[in-house]
Amino acid sequence: MADHQEELWLGIATTAVPRDGRRRWRPGVHYRRIARAARRHGLRVCLFDPGRQAEWSRLSAFVPMDSNRPDGDWEPMSLRFPDVIYENVYVHLAVKGYSAPLRAEARRRGVPLFNPMLPGKWQMIRFLRRVHLDHLAPETEVLTSADALWRALERWRIVYVKPSGGYGGVNVHRLELLADGRVRARADRRGGRVRTWERVMERRHLDAFVRSLRGRYLVQRGLRLLRVGGRKVDFRVVLHRDHQGEWQLIGIVPKLAAPDGVVTNIIAGGERWTLEQLESTAKREGKDVPVDDLVRAAKSIAEALSHRYRTIGLVGFDMAVEEDGSVRMIEMNPKPARSLLDRPMLERLAACQAGFARWLIRR
């Protein structure tokens, strides 16, 4: 294995590397995009699995065989600890601490790592309150009891009950107080299963419902979402910081829920549209999509986060437009799925990722 000590290295932490000892390999297209963009900033890129390192002083990694042709084959290499790290481990592994030793080592060495661990849903609400941006989020409370849930239903009529640390729309419930005093509860992915779960219950049954939930849950006012074609819409707004540390818009992706769906997640039956497609359909229905307001709100929150978390580089906000035109942030995704983005968005993303890595080194 060759060794290059004099160059600046951007290390990408990922589990998407071979485990079978092969000598040649070609990574996924987005990693090659980043490597191309990194060359323009004088950086070389290596990919490594943070959970399969014998020692941090010498990383087992993969690099392009020809540094000028990152779209070609890559080979294994032993190299020093990188100058900057992009942590891109799958979210289900990250939340279990898969990258924790890497984060600790980077911190010990003073090596910048993006993204840092970011607040969960409840911590995010508290953060927005501290920076006086809570008007951009729906009214939210910690679920403490069936009585508290009933009071929320009386106040808002429709509420969402969601896990504070969940992702992918799993165990997100919509509860509606019906005219006869009963409560309709519905979920698209209860217990991780992709199937609709629905119950109509009396108030006295809320206690059993609350007890069935595991971990901390939140109660959030049900937003009266913009509907297009009779389907509820929210917007994934993806931002990334650039070579000057400034937030740039990568893209806006409308997501339409399934008819009477609880969430817009694609795995739960939602559908991705282009912004142009949505705006055209909405216009025919006499509705407006306040794109500038969505971007402005997302950037306001991102700016506040980057003052608190200095190495944050990527965020994906699920944003809502209510029927009255007001904009709300439903939740933040610290690892937004690239699968929602089209090719021009992915090119912008790779350029920003490489540029931001170089900015972190200079800083």
Residue position matching structure tokens 């439903």: 330
Element (H, E) at 253: strand 247-256
pLDDT at site 3: 45
* Domains identified in the chain and CATH numbers: 8-114 (3.40.50), 121-135+224-362 (3.30.470.20), 140-221 (no CATH)
Q: Is 306 within 8 Å of 241 (Cβ atoms)? A: yes
| 3-state percent helix, strand, coil for the chain, nearest multiple of 5 | 30, 30, 40
pLDDT at site 2: 41
Confidence of residue 194 (pLDDT cuts 50, 70, 90): low
Per-residue pLDDT of 215-242, as tens digits, reads: 899 999 999 999 999 999 999 999 999 9
Average pLDDT score over residue span 338-353: 97
**What distance in Å separates the CA atoms of residue 329 and residue 125, rounded to the nearest whole number?**
10
- Summary mean pLDDT of the chain: 92
Confidence of residue 20 (pLDDT cuts 50, 70, 90): confident
pTM above 0.85, yes or no: yes
Which candidate, 154, 152, 170, places its Cα nearest to that of 162?
170
Confidence of residue 119 (pLDDT cuts 50, 70, 90): confident
108 pLDDT above the threshold of 80: yes
1 pLDDT above the threshold of 60: no
The torsion angles phi and psi of 213, rounded to 5 degrees, stand at: -85, 140
Per-residue pLDDT of 311-337, as tens digits, reads: 999 999 999 999 999 999 999 988 898
Average pLDDT score over residue span 259-264: 64
Average pLDDT score over residue span 105-117: 95
pLDDT at site 94: 86
195 pLDDT above the threshold of 90: no
Q: What percent of the chain has pLDDT over 90?
A: 80
Per-residue pLDDT of 284-305, as tens digits, reads: 999 999 999 999 999 999 999 9
Q: Is 80 within 8 Å of 58 (Cβ atoms)? A: yes
Per-residue pLDDT of 62-103, as tens digits, reads: 999 999 999 999 999 999 999 999 999 988 888 889 999 999
265 pLDDT above the threshold of 80: no
pLDDT at site 262: 63
First vs last C-alpha separation in the chain = 31
